[in-house]
Amino acid sequence: MKLTNKTIVVTGVSSGIGAETARTLRAHGASVIGVDRNEPSLSLDAFVQADLSHPAAIDAAVQQLPAKVDGLCNIAGVPGTAEPQLVARVNYLGLRHLSAALLPRIASGGAIVNVSSVLGAEWPQRLALHRALGAVDGFAAGEAWLDAHPVAAATCYQYFKEALIVWTQMQAQPWFMDTSVRMNCVAPGPVFTPILNEFVTMLGAERAQADAHRIKRPAYADEVAPVIAFLCADESRWINGVNIPVDGGLASTYP
């Protein structure tokens, strides 16, 4: 992968997929600036501490980043066991806000990579809703739309991963046409990370057991990170607006 001399911003860098993505990017020659609310436990080229659930905090974090970067990996997220409002703010609204705020600083030929989920695979069933939310501009306006269209706590994680996939599809081509910056999603299945147990709790025992028979095992973070890194590299320069499952074939078993 051609990543030498690239500067990539990675959110959620302090653990799990975010930490492994930072390691992979640096191993291939990139400089990595981490963003997380928790201090990192790995070597980085720079670190910005930020709470990505608040637009003002996101704007302050962006001001601490370089005038030019080559990519953004949106990996930070909270599990579905969190309050629905927090899931919406971190996993969707904050991600959108950061991407739009950083876009003018991403060099031509750069990339944005969003981490969705295999649980977002049912997005076509709610496509009209996701398109309506995706068309709403801004963090506050998005919150207002969600106040008028509340999402059930039991399905909020799935809902916002679906919404992220649809928003990526909607926004990727206009941004690419205007700025030559690509945007794609990577959709992991279950992954051995600190929130795996919360992921299983969120799904419920019946769903978790059913899915367990469809895959060999959960993924390791270092099996997901190289796909994210590839989407930041020059070799993927003509891939835009797609959602790539990295789930050991789990999505292919769904009806």
**Cβ atoms of 165 and 188 closer than 8 Å:** no
Separation CA 103–CA 51 (nearest Å): 19
* 12 Rama class: left (phi>0) / alpha (psi -120 to 50) / beta: left
- At residue 182's C-alpha, the angle toward residues 178 and 184, to 5°, is 135
Among residues 92, 157, 159, 220, the one annotated as catalytic is 157
Phi, psi values for residue 241, rounded to 5°: 75, 25
Q: Is 114 helix (H, G, I), strand (E, B) or coil?
A: strand
88-110 burial, b at 16+ Cβ within 10 Å, e below that, comes to bbbbbbbbbbbbbbbbebbeeeb
Rg (alpha carbons) of the chain, rounded to whole number: 17
- Quick one: how far is CA 145 from the chain centroid? 21
- Count of other CB atoms within 10 angstroms of residue 43: 10
Distance of CA 110 to the CA centre of its chain: 16
Rounded CA gap, 53 and 187, in Å? Answer: 21
| Whether 157 is catalytic | yes
Residue among 229, 233, 240 at smallest CA distance from 75? 229
By annotation, the residues acting in catalysis are 157
